[in-house]
Structure 1
Amino acid sequence: MKHFFLLIGLCLTSNALLAQLLKSPNQQLQMEFSLQNDGTPGYSLKYKDKIVIKPSKLGLELKDDTKSLLNDFVIADTKTTTFDEIWKPVWGEVASIRNHYNELAVTLNQKGTDRQMVIRFRLFDEGLGFRYEFPLQKNLTYFVIKEERSQFAMNGDHTAFWIPGDYDTQEYDYTTSKLSEIRGLTQKATTENVSQQSFSPTGVQTALMMKSADGLFINLHEAALINYSCMHLNLDDKNMVFESWLTPDAKGDKGYMQAPCQSPWRTIMVSDDAREILASKMTLNLNDPCKIEDTSWIKPVKYIGVWWEMITGKSTWAYTDEYPTVQLGVTDFAKAKPNGKHGANTANVKKHIDFAAANGFDAVLVEGWNEGWEDWFGHSKDYVFDFVTPYPDFDVKGIHEYAKSKGIKMIMHHETSGSTRNYERHMDKAYQFMKDNGYDAVKSGYVGPILPRGENHYNQWIVNHYQYAIEKAADYKIMVNAHEAIRPTGICRTYPNLIGNESARGTEYQAFGGSKPNHVTILPFTRLIGGPMDYTPGIFEMDISKINPENTSHLNSTLANQLALYVTMYSPLQMAADLPENYNRFPDAFQFIKDVAVDWSDSKYLEAEPGQYITVARKAKGTNNWFIGNVNGETSRVSSINFDFLEKGKKYEATIYSDAKNAHYKTNPQAFSIRKMNVTNKTKLSQFSAPGGGYAISVIEIK
């Protein structure tokens, strides 16, 4: 670690008593910290001399009669450092990550209280992170946060890609609008969900992506959300100032703190090139290094599952329709009449195991295997599942032995129905049951209102539950894929057994009425900034009525677009989500899903414009092979890329899976073509992408 000098100057203005400048390693970003005349801390940010964040206040409002941590501060100390390291993730988009930043830590003493607060700034080449720290001290021990007052003052009425602020769900389609239009669009943007609680007509969720009129791409988010409430943003749309808005608990409190402690990092990414936002590893770098000593058991996974047939309504999670209500330990399912539609039956699971083995997949997920699905939702039911008792038609031991004989791993499913206390009550026994039966990964779910009653999905107490589940799973060497949990903030660096999250509007909504065709061109700029998403792509039959005549939904995507998602929607956990019989109908297209990697040594973002298109090339770890994906929004376009990322002097065979000329997500989604060509690092390609379409390319070295 080396030290460097900051430019520190005395500002003789009425607005600030002292200003300190911090520059990024490449000198393109400049952050200015200042204290106002009343001792209010604040900051501003510039990129290439363009204003990104205008002067914005910092601080926390405390509950009750306690004087808040908002003003009356004086600077007690400043410390500056620079940090530069290379670290290797257990899995990821690249084999190694550079963590390079300049840091300013400002120690503030509050007059009249003798309390101390540190604001720590880290300035990377791609953006700024800052957090509040509360050292061990006599006059600030236990305190309750009424609200965090971190501001982000915008320098214009930017175009934003946003979802409504909500304490319980991120499962919304994105709205694209000016900041000034958010208020008028929030009601329309807040579509129905099974558990939701909006808080403001100008509230939005992070990661928030914006584009300024002068071409700056700006992203607001948070990193390392530990023992704290999730941050939303509330917009003062008269002055274009965002302010942090934390998720409250059942009492309305927003954080119980005990010093020494700290907040999560608040992050601002900025660039004049959208590709740099996608490529940034700043969120990961603001998290602690891996705390799992032996990570050899953490493996990227490509899987199929007994899932889509339930989502579409072809089959059910529940075993019987005979009982109006069930109670675990009381209801005798052995005497119940099966409904004939239960998906998680032994024969069906073995069929999926056979398909996985025949096509080179790693694992099979099964949902609806355990007792309790008959009345699991909507009843505020505490003891809803025990996570160890299978239905009569699901042979746990027999399936384990059959899967093992085929070289296939099984993925357990734990739906909690939001009953976090019940899950914690059963967690040790459930994880041990998994290990006893050969399950190394779990998909957990938190559908519905949270129990204890009145708590929200994103407040401090429930955030701590999600973290507890990850850390407890690590004790059992179990990988976690959490659905409906808090959106990720880079925690997967510290606990890489968190190999996936949902926490956004995934493919399942295509069977619930559809998502906008540009949805997948926005998610990598927003939800995926904090970590990979289990988006469950690979749907080949877009007309859901052909699976279930009672479901008239239609996917707003072409088949080629579905293939491209395996590259553009990065995840070490990738599902081929459609029914096996639909893959058998399109074996040539299915070949790309079989071939595509799930772990990468390098990634190149070739084209990017939020809401319009993304093109990514990734190098499969341990090989010289590349895979390229392009997803397109509402308007057809010709994508132009070159292959200069390929190794010089090498020849490759490219197999291009593309939209046909007459393809369209509404009228002709399954129209695709496949062609082969030889390429080198000098090759350039122009490729048509249909509305809601795209293309996927496998680039295999010719030996």
Structure 2
Amino acid sequence: MKKIIVLLFLSVVSFAVNAQELKSPNGKQVMTFSLLKDGTPTYQLSYNGKEVVKPSKLGFELKNDKQSLLDGFVIEKIETNTFNETWKPVWGEVKEIVNHYNELAVTLLQKVTNRKMVVRFRLYNEGLGFRYEFPEQKDLVYFVIKEERTQFAMTGDHTAFWIPGDYDTQEYDYTESKLSEIRSLFKNAVTSNASQEQFSETGVQTALMMKTADGLYINLHEAALIDYSLMSLNLDDKKFVFQSWLTPDSKGNKGNLQAPCHSPWRTVMVSNDAREILASKLTLNLNDPCKIEDTSWIKPVKYVGVWWEMITGKSSWAYTDDLPSVQLGVTDYSKTKPNGKHGATTKHVKELIDFAALHGFDAVLVEGWNEGWEDWFGHEKDYVFDFVTPYPDFDVKGIHQYAASKGIKMIMHHETSGSVRNYERHMDTAYRFMKDNGYDAVKSGYVGNILPIGEHHYSQWINNHYLYAVKKAADYKIMVNAHEAVRPTGICRTYPNLIGNESARGTEFQAFGGSKPNHVTILPFTRLIGGPMDYTPGIFEMDIDKLNPDNHSHVNSTLANQLALYVTMYSPLQMAADLPENYNRFLDAFQFIKDVAVDWDDSKYLEAEPGKYITVARKAKGTQNWFIGNVNGITKRTSKIKLDFLEKGKKYKATIYADAKDAHYKTNPQAYIISEKTVSNKSELTLTSAPGGGYAISIIEVK
């Protein structure tokens, strides 16, 4: 159902001399646009009568242009409308999404240059989206952005959950601090990564989550990042004003545009209830509708794979230790000695296929199957992989046939080593190879510095590459799970074959020294605002030295917390990341991973406080079954939840996987209790979560 109504009522827009006021459909959000005396465009935002964003400037500084798009504007035209539709995602947290907003489009004329720029605002009940549009015009055709000058002026020294602004990685632990403390904490917040470059000691990344002293939750982000560079934020920590900071290309340019064109949406979500931030679909709604006509081949996936054993150092991606370097097409692997640690062997992969089939999983991911891993990283090497040549101990066709006989799909792995040109050189051949051998999904990777030399992971040209890969994959009916790529901004609505992304500090860092135990209580407020994450949960053995005696890292989570992640960290792509032998030790707890859904008809956020706790209930697609997950921060907490979302008059069997009384993420992570009880929509549950702990509940209808 779709409904569009054009309005020119004062309830939507009121006209002062040069000020226009826009209200959200429920009237709680109010945005005001105005021009300063020098013609500088500004906006401000309030919520329930409280100022959220103080008057903030808009505009662009252009390169090699005497007159930038910053001031000297007059209002040429005002357009308004209300839009209300309900649409169905291909996969998602809910079956239907309401897209309801009031809109104001202000056409600005810069008299001295005769250039036009439109600022389009969409105000939802949960917040604001706005973007810049450049109509076709003879006085502005090709232009280069030196910097976008969008401001977000905060009203005070808010508490923020932030990671360092970086052109190449988001793989940082979050720091909770006042805005005024970012500068002093910045150096400690920067940890090593395969590729990284920070731009300022007050630079932070979006989605940025904040909380005001009077209890408002504010989230700054962007939506529909297409043909543009990623936006970070640089803070004036004296005035508490954020300014957009775009990722440069190899020349230092922030964007090369040709009118007609537009920027991504800049978003400001605000609520007095943290749960509303998590439930918001504003980011998705600001993206274009699905452009793939037949989506029947796009299916949520629960998988296992050859991955965690490599991350921990138990196994290796490389086939041999004999080679000082590799040149594809020249190196003869038949003359080398296998190192005995290679994980992607035919025998081992068949064992994983058997495990997946036995326990009802959909697919198996294999990494390190192809030639070239012996010197893949650190050399800024262009021709790294060809994505089609397997190692001698990996039988592609035999594994395809074996997996098909067991009803299991295979997931391909394409590591580019940051060599974007090489990937595009081989992409069609690689995708055809996948389809010929029964692979319907690919996990791509961009570890290391980007090639061509000087480019960054989040610059305009590289962002275009990521989307090119997704669109090309759709031509072959292939789903994409991109790691180390740009963080998502809701593009999965338009191209739902983008079924997952990493783009944040995932489970692998638990094997690299560990992440903070409250990390997973922040990610849904930050990284997941733009789309689902392939977080790879489900680790049952927390002491890594039991897999690899040389690795003394510890997974900072209880086992019950790991189960809860399948609900709290929404993704249509979920991995049971641990080794089969560890699941076999805890088969009663493993049952939850087997049972939990990966696609949903409904989601209810029951409790939420960033950095402290999140409790989510989700209804499995096409059933009356619900699953609940709670993840807890560093302080032990008792959670009280009502099950009033269950259907009236029906009874359900609840299986509760909870922390034991003496559970603790550091000292006793595998202490859990499983209990069962009959529940209804009148039931209430009281459960205690350990530090770094949580609980998971399956609620199955009793028929």
Which one-letter code corresponds to 1:190 in the other structure? Answer: V
Alpha-carbon separation, structure 2, partners of 1:503 and 1:636: 29
Find the counterpart in structure 1 of residue 161 from structure 2: 161
Pairing of 1:241-280 with structure 2 (within 5 A): 241-280=241-280
Pairing of 1:225-374 with structure 2 (within 5 A): 225-374=225-374
Cα deviation per residue 1:412-471 (whole Å; 9 max; x = unaligned)? 000000000000000000000000000000000000000000000000000000000000
Asked if 2 retains the 8 angstrom alpha-carbon contact of 1:627 and 1:697, the reply is yes
1:147 Cα shift? 0.2
Find the counterpart in structure 1 of residue 612 from structure 2: 612
Find the counterpart in structure 1 of residue 485 from structure 2: 485
Find the counterpart in structure 2 of residue 90 from structure 1: 90
Find the counterpart in structure 1 of residue 50 from structure 2: 50
Which one-letter code corresponds to 1:217 in the other structure? Answer: Y
Pairing of 1:312-461 with structure 2 (within 5 A): 312-461=312-461
Find the counterpart in structure 2 of residue 667 from structure 1: 667
1:625 Cα shift? 0.2
Q: Could you tell me the TM-score, scaled by structure 1's length?
A: 0.99
Which one-letter code corresponds to 1:192 in the other structure? Answer: S
Give the 3-state SS of the residue equivalent to 1:374 in structure 2: helix
From the superposition, tell whether residues 10 and 276 of structure 1 become closer, same or farther in structure 2 (CA, over 3 Å): closer
**1:5 maps onto 2:8 in alignment:** yes
Alpha-carbon separation, structure 2, partners of 1:434 and 1:154: 49
Asked if 2 retains the 8 angstrom alpha-carbon contact of 1:9 and 1:18, the reply is no
Alpha-carbon separation, structure 2, partners of 1:494 and 1:591: 34
Pairing of 1:91-110 with structure 2 (within 5 A): 91-110=91-110
Asked if 2 retains the 8 angstrom alpha-carbon contact of 1:232 and 1:247, the reply is yes
Asked if 2 retains the 8 angstrom alpha-carbon contact of 1:328 and 1:385, the reply is yes
Asked if 1 retains the 8 angstrom alpha-carbon contact of 2:434 and 2:440, the reply is yes
From the superposition, tell whether residues 117 and 500 of structure 1 become closer, same or farther in structure 2 (CA, over 3 Å): same
1:162 Cα shift? 0.2
Alpha-carbon separation, structure 2, partners of 1:72 and 1:529: 36
Cα deviation per residue 1:120-139 (whole Å; 9 max; x = unaligned)? 00000000000000000000
Alpha-carbon separation, structure 2, partners of 1:685 and 1:10: 52
Asked if 1 retains the 8 angstrom alpha-carbon contact of 2:235 and 2:241, the reply is yes
Alpha-carbon separation, structure 2, partners of 1:285 and 1:2: 17
Alpha-carbon separation, structure 2, partners of 1:526 and 1:631: 16
Which one-letter code corresponds to 2:233 in the other structure? Answer: L
Asked if 2 retains the 8 angstrom alpha-carbon contact of 1:6 and 1:21, the reply is no
Asked if 1 retains the 8 angstrom alpha-carbon contact of 2:654 and 2:677, the reply is yes
Alpha-carbon separation, structure 2, partners of 1:114 and 1:65: 14
Alpha-carbon separation, structure 1, partners of 2:220 and 2:186: 19
Give the 3-state SS of the residue equivalent to 2:467 in structure 1: helix
Alpha-carbon separation, structure 2, partners of 1:594 and 1:124: 38
Alpha-carbon separation, structure 2, partners of 1:334 and 1:560: 46
Find the counterpart in structure 2 of residue 554 from structure 1: 554
Which one-letter code corresponds to 1:33 in the other structure? Answer: F
Find the counterpart in structure 1 of residue 68 from structure 2: 68
Cα deviation per residue 1:269-322 (whole Å; 9 max; x = unaligned)? 000000000000000000000000000000000000000000000000000000
Which one-letter code corresponds to 1:328 in the other structure? Answer: L
Alpha-carbon separation, structure 2, partners of 1:567 and 1:674: 17
Count of residue pairs the alignment pairs up: 698
Alpha-carbon separation, structure 1, partners of 2:700 and 2:140: 60
**1:621 maps onto 2:621 in alignment:** yes
Find the counterpart in structure 2 of residue 641 from structure 1: 641
Which one-letter code corresponds to 1:669 in the other structure? Answer: P
Which one-letter code corresponds to 1:586 in the other structure? Answer: F
Cα deviation per residue 1:9-43 (whole Å; 9 max; x = unaligned)? 565xxxxx511100000000000000110000000
Give the 3-state SS of the residue equivalent to 2:5 in structure 1: coil
Find the counterpart in structure 2 of residue 14 from structure 1: none
Alpha-carbon separation, structure 1, partners of 2:178 and 2:319: 49
Find the counterpart in structure 2 of residue 124 from structure 1: 124
Find the counterpart in structure 1 of residue 223 from structure 2: 223
Asked if 2 retains the 8 angstrom alpha-carbon contact of 1:643 and 1:680, the reply is yes
Asked if 2 retains the 8 angstrom alpha-carbon contact of 1:6 and 1:80, the reply is no
Give the 3-state SS of the residue equivalent to 1:631 in structure 2: strand
Pairing of 1:27-46 with structure 2 (within 5 A): 27-46=27-46
1:335 Cα shift? 1.6
Find the counterpart in structure 2 of residue 193 from structure 1: 193
1:4 Cα shift? 2.2
1:334 Cα shift? 1.6
Which one-letter code corresponds to 2:445 in the other structure? Answer: G
Which one-letter code corresponds to 1:379 in the other structure? Answer: H
Cα deviation per residue 1:563-604 (whole Å; 9 max; x = unaligned)? 000000000000000000000000000000000000000000
1:67 Cα shift? 1.3
Cα deviation per residue 1:489-542 (whole Å; 9 max; x = unaligned)? 000000000000000000000000000000000000000000000000000000
- Bigger mean CA offset, 476-485 vs 2-11: 2-11
Give the 3-state SS of the residue equivalent to 1:30 in structure 2: strand
Asked if 2 retains the 8 angstrom alpha-carbon contact of 1:278 and 1:525, the reply is yes
Give the 3-state SS of the residue equivalent to 2:357 in structure 1: helix
Which one-letter code corresponds to 2:700 in the other structure? Answer: I
Cα deviation per residue 1:169-198 (whole Å; 9 max; x = unaligned)? 000000000000000011000111110000
- Bigger mean CA offset, 437-446 vs 61-70: 61-70
Give the gaps of 5 or more residues in structure 1.
12-16
Which one-letter code corresponds to 1:4 in the other structure? Answer: L
Find the counterpart in structure 2 of residue 527 from structure 1: 527
Find the counterpart in structure 1 of residue 500 from structure 2: 500
Find the counterpart in structure 1 of residue 572 from structure 2: 572
Query: For the aligned residues, what is the CA RMSD?
Result: 0.6
Alpha-carbon separation, structure 1, partners of 2:575 and 2:9: 49
Asked if 1 retains the 8 angstrom alpha-carbon contact of 2:225 and 2:489, the reply is yes
Pairing of 1:199-210 with structure 2 (within 5 A): 199-210=199-210
Cα deviation per residue 1:331-369 (whole Å; 9 max; x = unaligned)? 001221100100000000000000000000000000000
From the superposition, tell whether residues 6 and 57 of structure 1 become closer, same or farther in structure 2 (CA, over 3 Å): farther
Q: Could you tell me the TM-score, scaled by structure 2's length?
A: 0.99
1:6 Cα shift? 4.7
Alpha-carbon separation, structure 1, partners of 2:334 and 2:616: 51
Find the counterpart in structure 1 of residue 539 from structure 2: 539
1:5 Cα shift? 3.0
Which one-letter code corresponds to 1:3 in the other structure? Answer: V
Which one-letter code corresponds to 2:5 in the other structure? Answer: K
Asked if 2 retains the 8 angstrom alpha-carbon contact of 1:145 and 1:255, the reply is yes
Alpha-carbon separation, structure 2, partners of 1:501 and 1:636: 31
Give the 3-state SS of the residue equivalent to 2:65 in structure 1: coil
1:65 Cα shift? 2.6
Asked if 2 retains the 8 angstrom alpha-carbon contact of 1:6 and 1:20, the reply is no
Cα deviation per residue 1:238-293 (whole Å; 9 max; x = unaligned)? 10000000000011000000000000000000000000000000000000000000
Find the counterpart in structure 2 of residue 214 from structure 1: 214
- Bigger mean CA offset, 59-68 vs 577-586: 59-68
Alpha-carbon separation, structure 2, partners of 1:250 and 1:622: 49
Alpha-carbon separation, structure 1, partners of 2:546 and 2:323: 30
Which one-letter code corresponds to 2:139 in the other structure? Answer: N
Alpha-carbon separation, structure 2, partners of 1:216 and 1:375: 50
**1:473 maps onto 2:476 in alignment:** no
Asked if 1 retains the 8 angstrom alpha-carbon contact of 2:14 and 2:22, the reply is no
Alpha-carbon separation, structure 1, partners of 2:66 and 2:476: 43
Give the 3-state SS of the residue equivalent to 1:664 in structure 2: coil
Which one-letter code corresponds to 1:2 in the other structure? Answer: I
Asked if 2 retains the 8 angstrom alpha-carbon contact of 1:6 and 1:22, the reply is no
